[in-house]
Structure 1
Amino acid sequence: MTALTGTGRLIRLILRRDRWLLLVWMLWLVMITASLSSTYQDQYPTAADREEYARTSGTNPTFLALYGPLQDSGVGGIISQRLGAVPIFIGLVSVLMVIRHTRTEEQAGRRELLSAGVCGRHAALAAAMSVTMLANLVVGLLIGATLSRDCPGSGSLILGLGFAAVGCAFVAVGALAAQVTENAGTARGIALGSLGAFLLIRLAADAGGEDSGLNWLNWLSPLGWRTELSAFAEDRWWVLLLFVVFTAAVSAVAVAVSARRDVGAGLLAPPLGPAEAAPSLRGPLGLAWRLHRTLLIGWAAAFVILGAVFGGLAEGVGDLLKDNKNLQDVFARIGGQQGLVDSYIASMMSLVGLIAAGYGVQAVLRLRREEESSRGEYLLASGADRIQWVAGHLVFALIGPAIALALAGVSAGLVHGANVSDTGGQLPAILGAAMIQLPAVWTLSALTLALFGLLPRLTATVGWGALALCFVLGQFGQALQFDQSVLDVSPFTHIPRVPGADVPAAPLLWLLTIAALLTAAGLARTRRRDVGA
């Protein structure tokens, strides 16, 4: 039996298990692209309209940070910029998909069972990488074909292939992370941390514009290479070779590690614990702290860095108004330069809130992983109270995002305050803009908990799906001209855009009420349903 024996059967198994998930993911990305293409054709029908966009929104630091530079003033260039956040989502899905079908299967013992019979040593890794890379390639080609109806064919194809190449690069990153540790949660943390680091490099390279002197940093990140493809402008096909080399090299390392480690083990052996448990582990809350502390510390550090990056960019936002009469007129109604800075801070804190919601969802999903691995059942069999067990994890799903948002707000406030010599005024304002996201964040955490109680098998799918929907509505909803009733589905739509706006109490109270009701429903149902069912 060769190392790849059974790969074809495992590919068919993955396609059968995830056929609907893959189909929804691919169709969603293609539909977003098609809708944006149609929207921007209608919004910017003339060359003058597109030049106006290039002078205003195309050079907005918020857009530069979120989406990257505008490299061409045509409709294709505008679409390429506004789809700049899509590769992040593709990388995220690619990482999670590979780890789900490698390390998660191995941790559950199914990989060892298959390897003992009909599957070779590398079959599971090869199958997971093949399916995910193929899905990325199909998405990229469909995006290119969709855009080519309204945009130049060469630029459309290179943009689509750039998205596929980013996904394939993070398939390799996820595969390597799955070999490093024997715990699926830690593997996800390593891979997502790598994605976050590459994103920060891309943000630093693009946020300051062409005059920042930091554009060279794009060559250090696969997300930056996507920008350097320069779709619809220079069409640098040769940049795709960087993706090929990176993906092949990281994949080769993953295969080499897989060949040398024991099945069920990782490159890094878990440390041995003490012979006797500490007093803090005598209760469910102490155990929850033990399980969540590494995740919380990692997210906290990331939010400090993220806040510092966004805070450092705020000072230069007002410079857009200098010598630009068009921008002066546009932002005069929201307070001129200060209004523009406030709008930037509100937009960045809204994005930070979405990221914090991801932490909240992940914290609740730890409950589901404990249940699926039977550790929750063992704990409850020892006499622990079921509500206390759930509440221990819920504490970190609620307090964890609050800590992360507070750190991001403080970091951004200190950096921006120091830049403008007004720390005492900017710190409370930016901290408030961060903390006001909490009702929306808690609503998504509570929704995930309700799913854990009511529909446990769908907890992860619907929980992450709800977060993805909020991201789409927040980042693309206005551009796609969605009806306000559709935008209102996202709890973040109801968060006041502070600083610079009034803070009505009603929407915040409604969100807190909904979060409380969802939490109560999740706790009540969890108390009565069978564990593991």
Structure 2
Amino acid sequence: MSTSTATPAAEAPTRPVTGGNALAGTGTLIRFALRRDRVRLPVWILALFLGTAMTAQNFKTLYPDAEDRANIADSMGSPAGLALSGPRHYLDDYTFGSMLGHQMIGFTAVLVGLMSVLVITRHTRAEEETNRAELLRSTVVGRHAHLAAALSVAVLANLALALLFALALPGLGIDGVDAAGSLLFGADHAAVGIVFAAVATVTVQFTAHTRGASGMAMAVIGVAYVLRAAGDSGSSSALSWLSPIGWAQRTYPYVDDNWAPLLLCVALAVGCAATGFVLSTRRDVGAGLRPEKLGSPVASDALATPLGFALRLHRGMLVGFGVGLFLMGAMYGSILGDAEDMLKDVDQIQDALDRIGGATIAESFASMVMVVITVVAAVYVVMAALRPRSEETAGRAEPLLATGLSRTHWVGAHLAVAMGGGTLVLLLAGLGFGISGAASLGDAGMLWELVGAAVAYAPALWVTVGVAVVLFGWFPGASSVAWVVPVYAFVVGYLGQILQFPDWMNNLSPFGHVPQLPAEEMSWTPMLSLTLVAAGLVWLGLAGFRRRDLETK
């Protein structure tokens, strides 16, 4: 009996796959992104709409008569007023509608831009930084799917906001706020938001880090705002035509209803998005186009300590907020000299300034503005105080704490940077405010008064850090609730002064207990009380963190 063995034929070598669908899986990723943002995006959209609607209603209360609107138009016609609001053409017939377009687009466009940038970075660069994008790309997901999905979600969010403006604003029953103007008003916001979303598709290609990509895109938003303000306040409007925010404002909703400038937004958005997709093919997943800087083979003595390592992690954000608050303070200080002329005919603001007190309107106005500056500093301290939570959820805390590093020293280092950094950015904001304000008023003594007024809010920032660490230590899943502190401080501390909220609401905020320098006299008792409260909250938060389990990966 004989057997024969068949030799299988050799398989033909497979050729490499060329082409393929680069957008495969985009629809699934869009649904997944919408699922993840099912709370975040509605909150953004509703907050932007409600803030705009409340402001429009307040216009009716603040300026009920044509004479009142004419007076505020005269006040807003100064270079400082135009820099804070928008182009002069709105002032020709200052109805409630033109007032809404004039005073709101420049401000809300910045917030819409921030929303759009955060959507893009959250669903692209953050996915790569956590290695989830690489895992998904190993399946049937195309090269451009993540970027296309993120951009689609940003566009949908902006269109939803535009639709809400278009449908709801005319229903408020405000004279001059008609359907045609509201449609354009909404389109303005959507156009600017989509432009900055497209800008973010470019910035996420350059750096391997989410914070860096967000920071570059936000810097572009800041430059756009500065160009708009400089063009509107100067004799030439050329600079405003270099800014997407300036293009949106020059559609003049409720005045001329000119849609043509939005074509520039469309062209820029398409160009930036196309650039982003092209650049994404020039790099590896998880990497950036900008080469990583080679570090020293041996860590420095400072970097080997918990505080030095925490400072290294926070330094980019700290520098960004420090520079931004210095410039913000300088911008507000530049209009202190015009404060009396700008606000003398606005009865409600005059009433708020009278309640604050102060020898001059400039001092009272500086005290009111200081609340806004401090709220921005509070945003920094919340982000810094919640950094340990980010490290924990990303899985980076576990290997660190597996060494001889104690939990208290690890979290304490981050809290020290948050509290010290918050005080530093307040100091820089006060310096910018003081230098510019002293020059505007011709009073060198205002420099140190405004620096002291800013630093006086440091204990309130420390309390904010304490609230964040208590949530992190005892209720880590609810850590984001710490954002309520700066939001509430802005609503009751700034808007509440104008809308005359009851005092007990202001007392619920740590910022409501700080003496409103330079209008008020310094009082050390509340400062000491806030410091003790902050120390107690930090101790309580650290105690909770020592007792709970660490979230592991």
TM-score for the superposition, normalised by structure 1? 0.89
Equivalent of residue 313 in structure 2, options 286, 291, 294: 291
Q: CA deviation at 1:285?
A: 0.9
Q: CA deviation at 1:81?
A: 4.0
Give me the CA root mean square deviation. Answer: 3.0
Change (3 A) 1:472 1:333: closer
Equivalent of residue 413 in structure 2, options 376, 379, 392: 392
Q: Deviations over 1:122-168 (max 9, x none)?
A: 11111111112111111112112222223122222211111122211
Q: CA deviation at 1:319?
A: 5.0
1:388 and 1:14 map into 2 onto residues whose CA distance is 36
Q: Which residue of 1 aligns with 2:135?
A: 113
Q: Deviations over 1:19-73 (max 9, x none)?
A: 12222222222233333333333444432343344345x4587765544456442
Q: Which residue of 2 aligns with 1:213?
A: 235
Structure 2 counterpart of 1:34, which letter? A
Equivalent of residue 114 in structure 2, options 57, 70, 92: 92
Q: CA deviation at 1:90?
A: 1.7
**8 Å Cα contact 1:473-1:487 kept in structure 2:** yes
Q: Which residue of 2 aligns with 1:515?
A: 534
**8 Å Cα contact 2:371-2:490 kept in structure 1:** no
1:363 maps onto 2:384 in alignment: yes
Q: Which residue of 2 aligns with 1:47?
A: 66
Q: How does 1:463-474 map to 2 (within 5 A)?
A: 463-474=482-493
Q: Which residue of 2 aligns with 1:454?
A: 474
Q: CA deviation at 1:360?
A: 1.2
2:346 and 2:296 map into 1 onto residues whose CA distance is 66
Q: Deviations over 1:246-295 (max 9, x none)?
A: 21111111111112211111111211222221122222111112212233
Q: Which residue of 1 aligns with 2:43?
A: 24
1:335 and 1:462 map into 2 onto residues whose CA distance is 30
Q: Deviations over 1:77-128 (max 9, x none)?
A: 2333443422222221221121111111111111011111021111111111
DSSP-derived class of the 2:94 partner? coil
**8 Å Cα contact 1:412-1:430 kept in structure 2:** yes
Q: How does 1:248-259 map to 2 (within 5 A)?
A: 248-259=270-281
1:260 maps onto 2:260 in alignment: no
Change (3 A) 1:335 1:467: closer
1:49 and 1:38 map into 2 onto residues whose CA distance is 15
The worse-fitting range, judged by mean Cα deviation, of 279-288 and 478-487 is 478-487
**8 Å Cα contact 1:304-1:411 kept in structure 2:** yes
**8 Å Cα contact 1:95-1:192 kept in structure 2:** yes
Q: Which residue of 2 aligns with 1:348?
A: 369
DSSP-derived class of the 2:38 partner? helix
**8 Å Cα contact 1:36-1:480 kept in structure 2:** no
**8 Å Cα contact 1:230-1:236 kept in structure 2:** yes
The worse-fitting range, judged by mean Cα deviation, of 25-34 and 115-124 is 25-34
Structure number with the higher helix fraction is 1
Q: Deviations over 1:270-324 (max 9, x none)?
A: 1122222112222211111221223322332233333333333323334558xx8
Change (3 A) 1:319 1:483: closer
Q: Deviations over 1:487-528 (max 9, x none)?
A: 554444444432222344455445434433332222111122
Q: CA deviation at 1:244?
A: 0.9
**8 Å Cα contact 2:357-2:364 kept in structure 1:** no
1:54 and 1:296 map into 2 onto residues whose CA distance is 38
Structure 2 counterpart of 1:152, which letter? D
Change (3 A) 1:273 1:83: same
**8 Å Cα contact 2:386-2:468 kept in structure 1:** yes
Q: CA deviation at 1:336?
A: 12
Q: How does 1:353-502 map to 2 (within 5 A)?
A: 353-423=374-444, 425-459=445-479, 461-474=480-493, 476-477=495-496, 484-502=503-521
The worse-fitting range, judged by mean Cα deviation, of 300-309 and 62-71 is 62-71
The worse-fitting range, judged by mean Cα deviation, of 218-227 and 122-131 is 218-227
Change (3 A) 1:229 1:30: same
Q: Which residue of 2 aligns with 1:188?
A: 214
Change (3 A) 1:54 1:508: farther
The higher radius of gyration belongs to: 2
**8 Å Cα contact 2:306-2:409 kept in structure 1:** yes
2:169 and 2:493 map into 1 onto residues whose CA distance is 22
DSSP-derived class of the 1:261 partner? coil
Q: Which residue of 1 aligns with 2:156?
A: 134
Q: Deviations over 1:216-254 (max 9, x none)?
A: 332222233332222222222111112111211111111
**8 Å Cα contact 1:6-1:123 kept in structure 2:** yes
Q: Which residue of 1 aligns with 2:259?
A: 237
Q: Which residue of 1 aligns with 2:7?
A: none
Identity of aligned residues (%): 39
1:162 maps onto 2:188 in alignment: yes
Q: Which residue of 1 aligns with 2:17?
A: none
Change (3 A) 1:2 1:490: farther
Q: CA deviation at 1:334?
A: 8.7
1:431 and 1:404 map into 2 onto residues whose CA distance is 11
Change (3 A) 1:246 1:458: farther
**8 Å Cα contact 1:398-1:445 kept in structure 2:** yes
Change (3 A) 1:141 1:386: same
1:517 and 1:67 map into 2 onto residues whose CA distance is 42
**Equivalent residues, number:** 523
**Please, which runs of 5 or more residues in structure 1 have no aligned partner?**
none
Q: Which residue of 2 aligns with 1:282?
A: 304
Structure 1 counterpart of 2:413, which letter? G
**8 Å Cα contact 1:129-1:172 kept in structure 2:** yes
2:465 and 2:391 map into 1 onto residues whose CA distance is 17
Change (3 A) 1:78 1:20: same
**Please, which runs of 5 or more residues in structure 2 have no aligned partner?**
1-19
DSSP-derived class of the 1:35 partner? helix
Change (3 A) 1:82 1:454: farther
Q: Which residue of 1 aligns with 2:5?
A: none
